[in-house]
Chains A and B, each alone.
Chain A
Amino acid sequence: MQKDEPPKKTAPDGDDRILVDRVVAGDRRAFEPLVRKHERRVFRVALAVLGNIEDAEEAMQDTFVKAFRHLDQFRKESRFTTWLTRIAVNEAIQKRNARKNFVPLTEAENAKEQFAPKRYEPWKSNPEQLYGKHELHRIVEDAIQSLPQIYREAFVLRDVEELSAEEAAEALGISVPALKSRLLRARLMMRETLAARFEEPATLKTKIVHKAVDVGTAVAMRLMRAAGR
């Protein structure tokens, strides 16, 4: 198989179904465009779960081998993307669990309390123009990699790979409310991490003004709640 430049835009899912039908009917060459279209996503998802390139590579290879061998089991009630992503997540999770040093991270341990934002300064206008394209890419990737795994995989599936909440939950084998709760935390953590790069540095004057406004707002809200009782 020769690798050409992958298409930048994702083709509609209908194309996947046609290709799947061709492979199942015996046309093995039709598997290549499927791989080409989805390898980036599969690798991305495996990397989100495993956190390192070597393991993610192995998981990606195993995902496509498994997908090819079980393509006739793709029932088409879900999108091919979701089906394949589910395999990728499972392969990656199996690899992760098999690691000798693996310590399971339970949601309960990590999310006892609601995540509280700490940074409340506005960001600079046009924050994307503050850094070059490559640097911005690295800043975003580093921030994603710094997320704890369960938040990283939810964020990557939903906000990076743009699966629907239902598809991301299905791929991760969790409920939609659980996905949404992880996603909220992931987004707040990403915001917090990136704030260090994009925040408008506060002068002493703005700090004092903001503090006064925040205290005033808190008092006003308390009064409103008391009045509403």
Chain B
Amino acid sequence: MKTMDCKDVLANLACYIDGEGSEELRHALEEHMSRCRRCRVVFDTTGTMLKIVTDAEPFEVPLSVSARLYTRLEKVLSEM
């Protein structure tokens, strides 16, 4: 595989993060990142961003919104 430039790395970043792509592609990405500080930072911090999003407190439906949902469903189900 030809030497990757930063644009190639960026285009394949999601694939690499998700553990997809051929061994050859992954090797080429790793080879580039071992030499390129900027790509390494982008890769590392994108991974950190995903971890922060995953670990953040779960999103909750506001209680009043949820209560109105159950009221509407109760009505709909009883009419059918």
A28/B14 in contact, CB under 8 A: no
**Residue from B48, B58, B80 whose CB has the most chain A CB atoms within 10 Å:** B48
Q: How many A-B residue pairs have CB under 8 A?
A: 137
A40/B48 in contact, CB under 8 A: no
B73/A1 in contact, CB under 8 A: yes
Q: How far is the CA of A208 from the CA of B57 in the complex (A)?
A: 38
Query: Smallest CB–CB gap between B34 and chain A, Å?
Result: 11
Interface range, A side: 35 or more
Q: Is the interface of B mostly helix, strand, loop or mixed?
A: helix
Interface range, B side: 35 or more
14 A–B pairs (Cβ distance < 8 Å), ordered by A = A1-B70, A40-B58, A60-B61, A64-B69, A117-B10, A121-B41, A134-B57, A136-B52, A137-B57, A191-B46, A198-B48, A210-B37, A221-B5, A225-B3
**A residues adjacent to B (C-beta < 8 A):** 1-3, 8, 28, 31, 35, 39-40, 43-44, 53, 57, 60-61, 64-65, 68-69, 114-117, 120-123, 127-128, 133-134, 136-137, 140-141, 144, 159-160, 165, 180, 183-184, 187-188, 190-191, 194-195, 198, 210, 213-214, 217, 220-221, 224-225, 228
Q: A-B pairs with the 8 shortest C-beta distances?
A: A184-B14, A137-B57, A1-B70, A140-B56, A43-B61, A191-B49, A120-B38, A57-B65
